[in-house]
């Protein structure tokens, strides 16, 4: 039995450690733990893993749906030079902070994709309460001139929203949620702005920051200010976009490394097999 694509944050590791009598035997059952990064592998070993190796994140190997990418690019072209700011994976309490910092209408289309589908209606109400006109993806409404907000009230369409966006602010990073996975955003060539709380995706945040594909800020207002600067400075955006594309390319191969672990274990179980 293999633990695949494992990601273990510091806080979660501490929680498991408090119940070591249960967690250590459970983690010790795995023949191999394939971790996304070194920190997760070390935490798994400390919690009783017999073998924990770094294989990388298989999300880097997940191809984007080309039809969704093409659709997103077509919509971006239809905006005719209008910038689109993606608020990706926002959590409760974040939309208010970000929308209040976006009261000044500079023509930018605000694309909001809440993390939880059950909050779609609540987020639509938040934008409407601020006098912002809304187009909703689920209704097939296009964000024509005059619409300030495009609500991404659909599931599984991240490639579409990334392809139509100029810059992204990563949700979950301004509350206690601990951030969102920014890899798909960066690998799509979209510059990412992240908040101070990325504990759940610390490894990915570090990689993106080190590569120059993301920028870290202190709060939602600074995130909006930074995003606006990125929208103004094309060269800066292009530099970050290229860094994100390179980051995605460098980290590919995790799927193959997982398969190699499977082959090795299968061979150990059935010696002499091909």
pLDDT tens across 165-192, in order? Answer: 999 999 999 998 899 889 899 999 999 9
User: Which helix or strand (DSSP H or E) is residue 184 part of?
Assistant: helix 183-187
Phi and psi at residue 198, to the nearest 5°: -125, 30
On the 0-12 / 13-18 / 19+ scale of CB atoms within 10 A, 206 is middle
Dist. CA 44–CA 23, nearest whole Å: 10
pLDDT digits (tens, 9 = 90+) for 208-218: 999 999 999 99
Bridge partners of 86?
A: 111, 168
Q: Model pTM greater than 0.85?
A: yes
pLDDT at position 64 is 84
How far, rounded to the nearest angstrom, does the alpha carbon of residue 102 sit from its chain's CA centroid? 22
pLDDT digits (tens, 9 = 90+) for 243-267: 999 999 988 999 999 999 999 999 9
Bridge partners of 194?
A: 216
The β-bridge relationship of strands 167-170 and 84-90 is parallel
Residue 73, pLDDT above cutoff 90? yes
Span(s) in the chain for CATH 3.40.50.2000: 66-250
Confidence of residue 269 (pLDDT cuts 50, 70, 90): confident
Residue 272, pLDDT above cutoff 90? no
pLDDT digits (tens, 9 = 90+) for 7-45: 998 989 999 999 999 999 999 999 999 999 999 999 999
208 neighbors 247 (Cβ within 8 angstroms): yes
The CA dihedral of 37, 205, 214, 67, to the nearest 10 degrees, is 70
pLDDT digits (tens, 9 = 90+) for 95-123: 999 999 998 899 999 999 999 999 999 99
Confidence of residue 53 (pLDDT cuts 50, 70, 90): very high
Dist. CA 45–CA 51, nearest whole Å: 7
Dist. CA 247–CA 140, nearest whole Å: 33
pLDDT at position 83 is 95
133 neighbors 146 (Cβ within 8 angstroms): yes
- Architecture of the structural domain at 66-250: 3-Layer(aba) Sandwich (3.40)
pLDDT at position 176 is 87
Dist. CA 88–CA 66, nearest whole Å: 20
Residue 66, pLDDT above cutoff 60? yes
pLDDT at position 250 is 87
Neighbouring CB atoms inside 10 A of 173's CB total 30
């Amino acid at each position: 039995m293999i633990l695949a694509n494992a990601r273990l944050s510091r806080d979660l590791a501490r929680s498991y450690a408090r119940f070591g009598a249960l967690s250590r035997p459970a983690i010790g059952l795995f023949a191999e733990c394939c971790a996304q990064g070194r920190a997760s592998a070390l935490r798994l070993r400390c919690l009783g893993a017999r073998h924990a190796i770094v294989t990388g994140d298989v999300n880097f190997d997940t191809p984007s749906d080309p039809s969704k990418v093409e659709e997103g690019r077509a919509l971006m072209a239809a905006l005719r030079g209008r910038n689109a700011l993606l608020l990706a994976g926002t959590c409760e309490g974040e939309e208010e902070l970000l929308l209040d910092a976006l009261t000044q209408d500079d023509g930018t289309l605000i694309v909001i994709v809440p993390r939880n589908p059950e909050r779609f209606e609540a987020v639509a109400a938040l934008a409407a309460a601020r006098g912002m006109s809304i187009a909703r993806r689920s209704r097939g409404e296009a964000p024509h001139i005059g619409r300030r907000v495009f609500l991404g009230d659909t599931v599984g369409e991240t490639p579409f929203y990334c392809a139509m966006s100029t810059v992204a602010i990563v949700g979950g990073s301004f509350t206690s949620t601990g951030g969102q996975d920014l890899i798909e955003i960066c690998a799509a060539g979209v510059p990412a702005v992240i908040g101070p709380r990325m504990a759940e995706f610390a490894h990915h945040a570090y990689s993106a920051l080190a590569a120059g594909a993301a920028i870290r800020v202190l709060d939602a207002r600074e995130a909006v200010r930074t995003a606006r600067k990125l929208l103004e400075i094309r060269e800066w955006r292009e530099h970050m976009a290229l860094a994100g594309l390179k980051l995605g390319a460098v980290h590919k191969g995790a799927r193959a490394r997982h398969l190699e672990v499977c082959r090795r274990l299968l061979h150990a179980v059935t010696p002499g097999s091909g």
